[in-house]
Amino acid sequence: MAEIGDRYNTKCPGVKRLMREALELAEATEEYCARPLEDNLFEWHFTVQGPKGTDFEGGIYHGRILLPKEYPMHPPHIILLTPNGRFEVNKKICLSISGHHPETWQPSWSIRTALLALIAFMPTPAEGTIGSLDYSPAERKILARKSRSWVCSQCGEISSLLSSTAAKPPTEEEQSVLNQIAFKGEEEQANKSQPPVEPVQQIQRPVLESTEPDASLLDQLTEIIVVLLIGAIAIFFYRRYNAFYNINQTEI
Amino acid sequence: MADDASSSSSYAGNLGDNSINQDELIMKQQREIEKEISESIPLVGDLEPLSSLEQEYTEDPVYLLKVKDLFSKYKYIRRTRPDGNCFFRAFSYAYLEYLLTDKTEYEKFYEIAKTSKDTLVALGFSQFTVEDFYETFMEVLQRVGEESGGTLEALEAARAELHDKFNKQGHSDYIVVYLRLITSGQLQTQQEFYQNFIEGSRTVTEFCRQEVEPMYKESDHIHIIALSNALNVGVRVKYMDRGEGSQVIAHDFPEGKTPLVHLLYRPGHYDILYT
């Protein structure tokens, strides 16, 4: 860290903040680890453990964190490098509060918040949002197994980067944030105006076929359910009517 | 006002039927507008005579009458950048500037500021990020304390230093973030009371997460009530709008407290007023 301190203006709050975060995240945990590149405080590499009890269990996923010069006023961008079946690789994704404008990032969140949120968000449905993939559970499990042998050209074998120390559990505030957060790919336009991200490693397209969400199939399913519901209601009314009619009959 | 622009979605109509990414397009446009604004208006401007306000409304009899009313009580105005943070920026600038001239008030405020961090950590905010903002805020405050009550010359230099800090995006925004956190802390610790001010079905915490803590979110009455109560600082806001009458209505927060900060509100924006 000493050299980085020499190279940047530590009076600048953003730099001071990132150096603090580097210290805070210096020790790897079981769930995540992250550190700045040696020559650039504004680009970090991270590794996260796939959440237990999901298709990603056992998987280890590596990626880049790009910090805007306005950090922490503006959110970090996350780019996954390890094929995972949930997010496209080599594509910027940003976090936001779900259902709200993506620009609801809060300066009191940190890289740790972003990583915890990423882990929590992995098992959620892709729902066709930009940057999301909707691979089948089987495909994701295969990718999870394969991910353990993935190698980053800068960090080496990623499976050795995490430790066995459990991370600090999320605070109450963090937890309430995690429940609301969503990740989304960046808009196409913004991507064009920014310098293209140079791929750190040639990523092979997974041999598996991707199962894109089939909208027409979904529509058909909804239709069937609606028809069934209407039928059920009709039968219900018919029976009630019959019962009512019978009572009237007996009274007479 | 430009603040209005950042919260308006009226641009959607111009975008045709491209529904795929309309939200993103609106945001892109907003960012461009924001950039334009930030390039043309300083975060906190120089002191200007109130007559500069008159010039803005030469063709507007309603506002001219109201400016005339302002003249009876105020001499100067200091404009702030309409970036959604203007209330917090104007408030902190005006108050710190005042503290330069009142050491007793400074001592009192210092104690309140010192313990403010603990409330936030107790509420579950991440300690090290809160500390990050707290430290920058306290640094600026302590500099004010060192110069407070000094000679006229020293005060002039101290004012220039404060002005400089408030126009450095990094420092200036850090102060805004910290005040936003204090506001959020106040709202959350007094939930039962503030819940009544929140329209719709949002909880106080949700409101804080969406309307208080994020940068660039405009301030409403509730923000001002919470912040002025949390810091025990009197604020008078003069509301200048198209309403009837020739008088500019004033509101004091908290009610009954002597105002040390005077702000001018025009729909969507706050500037600082000086007597």
Q: Which residue of B has its CA nearest to A108?
A: B129
Written as one letter, the residue type at A99 is G
Please check whether residues A51 and A173 belong to one and the same domain. yes
Of A20, A101, A107, the CB nearest to B177: A107
Pairing relation of β-strands B235-239 and B261-266? parallel
**Residue B264 φ then ψ, to 5°:** -105, 125
Q: Do A72 and B27 touch (CB under 8 A)?
A: no
Based on its alpha-carbon atoms, the radius of gyration of chain A, rounded to whole angstroms, reads 24
Answer whether A162's CB lies under 8 Å from A47's CB. Answer: yes
The model's pTM is 0.76
Closest partner residue to B213 (CB to CB) among A17, A100, A106 is: A106
Q: Would you call A63 helix, strand, or coil by DSSP?
A: strand
Cβ-Cβ contacts under 8 Å, A20 against chain B: 128, 132
Give yes or no: residues A66 and A26 share one domain.
yes
To the nearest whole Å, the CA of A116 is away from the closest chain B CA by: 13
Quick one: A41 and A111 in the same domain? yes
CB B131 within 8 A of CB A72: no
Distance between CA atoms of residues A213 and A133, nearest Å: 9
Asked if B214 is an interface residue toward chain A (Cβ–Cβ < 8 A), one would say yes
CB pairs under 8 A between A and B: 83
Instruction: Respond yes or no: is residue B86 known to be catalytic.
Output: yes
Say yes or no: A135 and A224 in one domain.
Answer: no
Q: Measure CA A51 to chain center.
A: 11
- Domain boundaries along the sequence of chain B: 1-40, 44-274
Instruction: Determine whether B104 is exposed, middle or buried from the number of CB atoms within 10 Å of its CB (0-12, 13-18, 19+).
Output: exposed
- Whether residues A48 and A162 fall in one domain: yes
**Is residue A198 domain-shared with residue A244, that is, in the same domain?**
no
Q: Which residues of A touch B124 (CB under 8 A)?
A: 171-174
Specify whether the CB–CB gap between A169 and A81 falls below 8 A.
no
Residue A202 sits in the same domain as residue A224: no
In three-state secondary structure terms, A135 is: coil
pLDDT in tens, B97-142: 999 999 999 999 999 999 999 999 998 888 888 999 999 999 999 9
- Considering the candidates B163, B223, B262, B269, report the single residue annotated as catalytic: B269
A78 with A14, same domain: the answer is yes
* Contact check, Cβ <8 Å, A13/B171: yes
- Of B136, B147, B139, B78, the C-alpha closest to B106 is B147
Element (DSSP H or E) covering residue A37: strand A32-37
Q: Provide the shortest C-alpha distance from residue A75 to chain B (in Å).
A: 11
- Same domain? For A138 and A227 the reply is no
CA angle, residues A181, B22, B180, in degrees to nearest 5: 40
Structure letter (DSSP) for residue B168:
S
A197 alpha carbon, distance to own chain's centre: 19
Which ipTM score applies to this complex? 0.76
- Residues A54, A70, single domain; the answer is yes
- For A163, phi then psi, to 5°, come to -115, -170
Q: What are phi and psi of B252, to 5 degrees?
A: -105, 135
The token pair at B198 is 């929140």
pLDDT per residue, tens digit, chain B (275 aa), is: 444 444 433 333 444 444 556 777 787 787 787 777 767 889 999 999 999 998 889 888 889 999 999 999 999 999 999 989 999 999 999 999 999 999 999 999 999 999 999 999 998 888 888 999 999 999 999 999 999 999 999 999 999 999 999 999 889 999 999 999 999 999 999 999 999 999 888 899 889 988 999 999 999 999 999 999 999 999 999 999 888 888 899 999 998 899 999 999 999 899 999 99
**A199 and A248 in a common domain:** no
- Give A9-12's long-range contacts (Cβ < 8 A, gap of 24+): A12/B170
Residue A229 structural domain: 214-252
Residues A222 and A127 in one domain: no
Angular region, A136: left φ>0, alpha ψ -120 to 50, beta rest:
beta
Test the B interface: residue of A16, A108, A116 with most B CBs within 10 Å: A108
Q: How many domains does chain A have?
A: 2
- CATH number of the domain residue A203 falls in: 3.10.110.10
The hierarchical CATH code for the domain B44-274 is 1.20.1300.20
- Which chain B residues have a beta carbon less than 8 Å from that of A187? 21, 24-25, 27-28
